[in-house]
Amino acid sequence: MSKAEQLSASFRDPSGFLFTRNGTLYRQINRAYSNDYARLMDSGLYGKLVKAGLLIPHVESDQLPAESDAAFKVIQPERVPFISYPYEWSFSQLKDAALTTLSIQKRALKLDMSLKDASAYNIQFMRGRATLIDTLSFEDYKEGQPWAAYKQFCQHFLAPLALMSYRDVRLSQLLRVYIDGVPLDLASALLPLKTKFNFGLLTHIHFHADAQKRYSDKAINPRERRMSMSKQALIGLIESLENTIQKLIWKPAGTEWGDYYENTNYTDSAFEHKKQLVNEWALEKKPALVWDLGGNTGVFSREAALSGAFTVSFDIDPAAVEQNYRTVKSKKEQNVLPLVLDLTNPSPSLGWNNNERDSFAGRGPVDMALALAVIHHLAISNNVPLPQLAEFFASRCKWLVIEFVPKSDSQVQKLLSSREDIFPGYSREGFESAFSSRFLIRKAESVRDSERTLYLMETQ
């Protein structure tokens, strides 16, 4: 029997934990959680949620538990194709994750169960939809009980969504700093005055923050206060959160590249040729997982995804990622995942012991990476020398599809127009020589009607 390794993100909940054995992911359920698990399965809640695409499906496994003393059962959940984090999601992705959580809570309450936590990290995108991946999040609901996860829900979902909608979409990055969600006093201070005229935001954020401050060091004595919360009242609270979140909107406009493809310098035939090459090379190499680095709205990600690969489409621009996600939803695409990522400062390892949330690099390497129309941004705007770029890409993937954009290209000229050209080595020859130290260049095709070249390279 090979060794079981517990996942570093899964340690807080005494109900159980995730572990891998021989590359397969399992979840150990502890005896402390056996009643709640039986309730989840027997009440029909599990079946309903899985059918609605809201909860990750699993099978019970006969694998030995990783820690047998506490163990009750081992289950094998369906594998999530790529783990992403809330600070990498666009506005609508976070909004859908919030609505999934509330929808689950409503359905659970109907069957007298309740979510014991409401962490955004428990949601992942599977088949294009926000899905709860923590099977152990349910507990028995007893009438009168308030929602223990209310605070967490407001911090993980409502506060960042309100800030993104009312202030600036880039405030999603606060989630990178605050691992347990945006503190409500901070959200309350940053939100504009007009949010105090919105009943949901006034109560769930502003009043909530005040109450937290007032009672921060007081334990409440329930008997003294004679307060309890009927089930109807709890459902009212969930519906109020739902209404508040439904009304939060963000329209991608005025950001860097929202209309990038309408503003490019290439002709339709160059664009089509590039699509065709990406599609051909993906079909030839049959990658299981592709990262499109600088994927914009995902046009080329979709060409790779046509080969059957699960394709993660990263871009720095929240507007492009939002548009990409809306396409995924409207076309019901199952194997494209758009995410916000700054390649010059990618997601680090975060949380307890720097080990709870995996870095961008830690979630690779992948079978194939696409780097289309991105090299000039990294080499010229961000001053990364070509050998370092080669090193970067070689550590991320086995196959690299990369586009070289020469200095004569008008997009590069634009980057150079406001600064001194300190890049004598930035040429096709310099590029090929730098990348040859880490890659074998398998193919090089001139993109039709353009000065650009598309390469297929294999890591040495």
**Under 8 Å between Cβ of 20 and 99:** no
Residue of 72, 178, 207, 260 interacting with other proteins (CB under 8 A): 207
Site for other proteins in 224-253 (CB under 8 A): 225, 227-230, 232-234, 236-237, 240
The residue among 45 and 175 lying less far from other proteins, judged by its C-beta, is: 45
For residue 274 the two structure tokens come to 């590039």
Determine the distance from the C-alpha atom of residue 390 to the mean position of all C-alpha atoms in its chain, rounded to a whole number: 26
Q: Which is nearer to other proteins, 146 or 406 (CB)?
A: 146
By CB under 8 A, residue 189 contacts other proteins: no
Output 202 or 361, the one with its CB closest to other proteins: 202
Closest contact distance (angstroms) between CB of 143 and other proteins is 9
Q: How many CB atoms lie within 10 A of CB 148?
A: 13
To the nearest whole angstrom, how small is the minimum distance from the Cβ of residue 103 to other proteins?
Answer: 4
Nearer to other proteins, 261 or 352 (CB): 352
Nearest to other proteins of 50, 361 (CB atom): 50
Residue type, 26: Y
Nearer to other proteins, 90 or 152 (CB): 152
Which residue's CB is nearer to other proteins, number 63 or number 92? 92
Tell which one of 21, 31, 48, 326 touches other proteins (CB under 8 A): 48
Chain positions 96 to 135 lying near other proteins, rule: CB under 8 A, are 96, 99-100, 102-103, 106-107, 110, 116-117, 129-130
Say whether residue 142 binds other proteins (CB under 8 A): yes
Of 40, 149, 289, 305, the one binding other proteins (CB under 8 A) is 149
Judged by beta carbon, residue 27 or residue 452, the one nearer other proteins is: 27
Indicate whether 139 belongs to the interface with other proteins (CB under 8 A).
Answer: yes
Q: How far is the CB of 89 from other proteins (least distance, A)?
A: 13
Is residue 321 part of the contact set for other proteins (CB under 8 A)? no
User: Rule CB under 8 A: is residue 58 a binding residue for other proteins?
Assistant: no
Q: Helix/strand/coil (H, E, C) string of the chain?
A: CCCCEECCCCCCCCCEEEEEECCEEEEEEEHHHHHHHHHHHHCCHHHHHHHCCCECCEEEECCCCCCCCCEEEEEEECCCCCCCCHHHCCHHHHHHHHHHHHHHHHHHHHCCEEECCCCHHHEEEECCEEEECCCCCEEECCCECCCCCHHHHHHHHHHHHHHHHHCCHHHHHHHHHCCCCCCHHHHHHHCCHHHHHCHHHHHHHHHHHHHHHHCCCCCCCHHHHCCCECHHHHHHHHHHHHHHHHHCCCCCCCCCCCCHHHHCCCCHHHHHHHHHHHHHHHHHHCCCEEEEECCCCCHHHHHHHCCCCEEEEEECCHHHHHHHHHHHHHCCCCCEEEEECCCCCCCCCECHHHCCECCCHHHCCEEEEEECCCHHHHHHHCCCCHHHHHHHHHCCEEEEEEEECCCCCHHHHHHHCCCCCCCCCCCHHHHHHHHHCCEEEEEEEECCCCCCEEEEEEEC
151 binds other proteins (CB under 8 A): yes
Tell me if 52 contacts other proteins by CB under 8 A.
yes
Contact 156, 85 (CB under 8 A): no
Q: How many residues bind other proteins (CB under 8 A)?
A: 61
Contact predicate 313/89, CB 8 Å:
no
Q: Which two tokens stand for residue 117?
A: 């936590």
Nearer to other proteins, 35 or 359 (CB): 35
Rounded to the nearest whole angstrom, what is the least distance from the CB of residue 299 to other proteins in the complex? Answer: 23
- 42, 127, 189, 222: which one contacts other proteins (CB under 8 A)? 222
**Closest distance to other proteins from the beta carbon of 110 (Å):** 8
Which 405-444 positions form the footprint of other proteins (CB under 8 A)? none
Residue in the structure block whose two tokens are 């598309």: 454
Minimal distance in Å, beta carbon 244 to other proteins? 11
Of 131 and 307, the one with the shorter C-beta distance to other proteins is 131
Beta carbon nearer to other proteins, 154 or 401: 154
Taking CB under 8 A as the rule, does residue 219 contact other proteins?
yes
Per CB under 8 A, residues contacting other proteins are 12-15, 32, 48, 51-52, 96, 99-100, 102-103, 106-107, 110, 116-117, 129-130, 139-140, 142, 144-152, 154, 203-204, 207-208, 210-216, 218-220, 222-223, 225, 227-230, 232-234, 236-237, 240, 329
